[in-house]
Amino acid sequence: MPTLREKPEEPDTGQEDPANGKSGVSRRQLMTMAGGSVALGAFLAACGDDDSGSDSSSGTTGETGSSMDDNSTARFGDGDIGIMNYALTLEYLETAFYADVAKSGLFKGSDLETIRKFGSQEADHVAALTAAVKQAGGKPAPKPKTEFPLNNAQQVLRLASTVENLGAAAYLGQAARIQSPEVLAAALSIHSVEGRHAAALNTLLGKTPVPDGPFAQPASASMVLNAVQPFIVD
């Protein structure tokens, strides 16, 4: 299995900005808490088929939805708090996924270290979003119990690639609904890194890291939540 070379972290050159909108969180505060790594992802339907040859190309998803017509994040709270809690729920899932993969024994050496690094970055996002929701005056969403199919390394890599692409699409799907410019900037910064993670995973799968289109596609919250539901066991 090819090894994955990780890109060096980019320095944070953001300026301290006052918070705007309902979130009450500045761009630098949220981006610093987020750690500049993978973002919220969603666990998607490609996990069910071990023999699937479907392509999980970087930067796009096969199904999209209109974010402006979808108010599925309201179950997590009002406005930006609901959107951040939606993201937090997906981050919980991603963190648990990578933790389970790391313990599965399916990966060794540099590939295992990459899995652990991805998981650590997801955990940083959980901490970031939890703090941001609290700072905005909201109550963080509870952590769900999860279970994932981890039958073989290729299946796990396909699922991880799909997760990262869906995660990017999930953030993009909420971009037009976010009221705070600071939260929007942080969300899009995380979205871009998810795409880079998807490209790295495609490399491990022997697929091209080149996007299959010039524009990233959003995913509605309802579509993403339906996709992750099979992995939530409580």
In angstroms, rounded to a whole number, what is the distance separating the alpha carbons of residues 65 and 53? 24
pLDDT score at 68: 56
Share of the chain above pLDDT 90, in %: 37
In angstroms, rounded to a whole number, what is the distance separating the alpha carbons of residues 166 and 173? 10
Terminal-to-terminal C-alpha distance of the chain: 35
pLDDT at 132 over 50: yes
Which has more pLDDT, 184 or 178? 178
Lowest mean pLDDT among 30-34, 123-127, 189-193: 30-34
Which has more pLDDT, 38 or 137? 137
* Every domain of the chain and the residues it spans: 56-231
pLDDT band for position 215 (50/70/90)?
confident
Q: What is the mean pLDDT of residues 223-232?
A: 91
How many other CB atoms sit within 10 Å of the CB of residue 122?
A: 28
pLDDT score at 102: 97
Q: What is the mean pLDDT of residues 158-172?
A: 86
In angstroms, rounded to a whole number, what is the distance separating the alpha carbons of residues 106 and 117? 16
pLDDT score at 33: 38
What Rg do the C-alpha atoms of the chain give, in angstroms?
16
How many other CB atoms sit within 10 Å of the CB of residue 142?
A: 11
Q: What is the mean pLDDT of residues 95-123?
A: 94
In angstroms, rounded to a whole number, what is the distance separating the alpha carbons of residues 199 and 114? 13
Task: Tell me the average pLDDT of the chain.
Answer: 75
pLDDT at 44 over 70: no
Q: Residue 178 corresponds to which tokens in the numbers above? A: 């976010």
CATH of 56-231, one of 1.10.20.140, 3.40.630.30, 1.20.1260.10, 3.10.20.740: 1.20.1260.10
pLDDT score at 69: 61
Which pTM does this prediction carry?
A: 0.73
In angstroms, rounded to a whole number, what is the distance separating the alpha carbons of residues 32 and 36? 7
Which has more pLDDT, 1 or 230? 230
pLDDT at 228 over 80: yes
Q: What is the mean pLDDT of residues 87-96?
A: 92
pLDDT band for position 37 (50/70/90)?
very low
In angstroms, rounded to a whole number, what is the distance separating the alpha carbons of residues 25 and 166? 25
